[in-house]
Amino acid sequence: MSAATAPAAGDIIRIPAHTAECEKDNRRIAWKQTMMERSEMYYTVHATNISKNNTDVILFVQGNWYNSGANGSYEIKLDAKFQYGQKNKEGENRFLVYHNKANKPYQHRFMATLIQGQVAEWAKKLIPVAQAQDGLALMTSIFGDYLHTY
Q: What is the mean pLDDT of residues 115-137?
A: 56
Q: Examine residue 6 and state whether it is found in any structural domain, yes or no.
A: no
Read off the pTM. Answer: 0.79
Contact of 49 with 55, CB cutoff 8 Å: yes
- Residue 69 identity (one-letter amino acid): G
pLDDT at 103 > cutoff 90: yes
Q: Examine residue 5 and state whether it is found in any structural domain, yes or no.
A: no
Q: HEC profile for the chain?
A: CCHHHCCCCCCEEEEECCCHHHHHHEEEEEEEECCEEEEEEEEEEEEEEHHHCCEEEEEEEEHHHCCCCCCCEEEEECCCCEEEECCCCCCCCCEEEECCCCCCCECHHHHHHHHCCCCCHHHHHHCCHHHHHHHHHHHHCCCCCECEEC
Q: Examine residue 46 and state whether it is found in any structural domain, yes or no.
A: yes
Q: What is the mean pLDDT of residues 83-110?
A: 90
pLDDT at 119 > cutoff 70: no
pLDDT tens by residue, 30-89: 888 888 899 999 998 999 999 999 999 999 999 988 876 667 788 999 999 999 998 888
pLDDT tens by residue, 7-27: 999 999 999 988 887 887 788
Host domain of residue 35: 11-143
pLDDT at 8: 96
Q: Examine residue 123 and state whether it is found in any structural domain, yes or no.
A: yes
pLDDT at 42: 93
Q: Examine residue 148 and state whether it is found in any structural domain, yes or no.
A: no
